[in-house]
């Protein structure tokens, strides 16, 4: 019984969402607001259960780690943005958060993106095989793409032709990324259609 009710609710909400393809309507708004509300409630409980309670309240109350009152204070004053008379207090928390985020972001970008990209560009060019051709193509693509983003000189002559080749590589990369995104979205659509046809309609006709 519970499974049947769940299937009906899921099918109804799916149809409500897809009704937006026709036009904006109350059914779509209901499903949208329900999704946003459930998501907000879920993350509120998740944050409390897995962050605030185990990482803040329990250490302070049980382990007497009163040093954690300092980050708790910064977290509380961030909420003062809702009160115009004392909203300036939230700037302390925001500045602290942005500073830490910038520092970690730079380090993470260098270690997670820049260095691996450089390492992937340093490739062997020995032998006459497809791997060597592929490595040459990667190096050539990286070089021409970097030239495209070189703006200290006007893109004329050899520099301009090289930049156009780099732009072609960029468009190919964007096209592949967009195609992958579309493919992923279509797979989600296929999953919903499969659910409606076999789980929902199949249940009604006893299949």
In terms of pLDDT, which residue wins out, 44 or 155?
44
**Residues 152, 163 contacting (CB under 8 angstroms):** no
- Residue 122 vs residue 53, higher pLDDT: 53
Lowest pLDDT segment from 99-108, 130-139, 193-202:
130-139
pLDDT of residue 124: 73
- Token pair of 162, please? 């090289």
Say what percent of the chain tops pLDDT 90.
57
For 45, the token pair is 């409980």
Distance CA 149, CA 189 (A): 37
**Start-to-end CA span in the chain (Å):** 16
pTM, two decimals, is 0.66
Rounded to an integer, the average pLDDT of 23-31 is 94
CA angle 104/102/77 to nearest 5° reads 105
> In this prediction, what percent of the chain has a pLDDT beyond 70?
98
Give 5 or 37, the one with higher predicted confidence.
37
The Cα–Cα gap between 178 and 172 comes to 10
**Number of C-beta neighbours around residue 165 at 10 A:** 17
Residue 1 has pLDDT above 70, yes or no: no
For residue 82, CA distances in Å to 58, 73, 87, 161, 184 come to 28, 16, 7, 54, 39
Residue 202, pLDDT above cutoff 80:
yes
How far apart, in whole angstroms, are the C-alpha atoms of residue 147 and residue 136? 16
Cα separation, 129 vs 151, in Å, equals 36
Q: What is the mean pLDDT of residues 107-117?
A: 82
Query: What does the pLDDT look like over 130-144, one tens digit per residue?
Result: 778 888 888 899 899
């Amino acid at each position: 019984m519970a499974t049947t009710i769940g299937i009906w609710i899921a099918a109804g909400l799916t149809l409500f969402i897809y009704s937006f393809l026709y036009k904006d309507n109350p059914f779509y708004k209901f499903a949208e607001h329900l999704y946003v509300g459930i998501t907000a409630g879920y993350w509120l409980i998740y944050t409390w259960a897995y962050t605030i309670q185990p990482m803040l309240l329990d250490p302070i109350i049980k382990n007497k780690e009163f040093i954690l009152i300092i980050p708790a204070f910064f977290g509380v004053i961030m909420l003062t943005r809702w009160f115009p008379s004392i909203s300036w207090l939230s700037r302390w928390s925001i500045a602290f958060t942005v500073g830490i985020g910038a520092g970690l972001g730079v380090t993470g970008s260098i270690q997670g993106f820049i260095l691996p990209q450089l390492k992937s560009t340093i490739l062997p060019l020995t032998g006459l095989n497809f791997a060597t051709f592929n490595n040459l193509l990667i190096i050539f693509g990286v070089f021409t793409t970097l030239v495209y983003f070189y703006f200290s000189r006007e893109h004329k002559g050899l520099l301009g032709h090289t930049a156009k080749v780099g732009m072609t590589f960029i468009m190919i990369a964007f096209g592949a990324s967009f195609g992958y995104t579309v493919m992923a979205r279509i797979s989600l659509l296929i999953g919903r259609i499969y659910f409606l046809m076999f789980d929902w309609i199949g249940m009604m006709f006893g299949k």
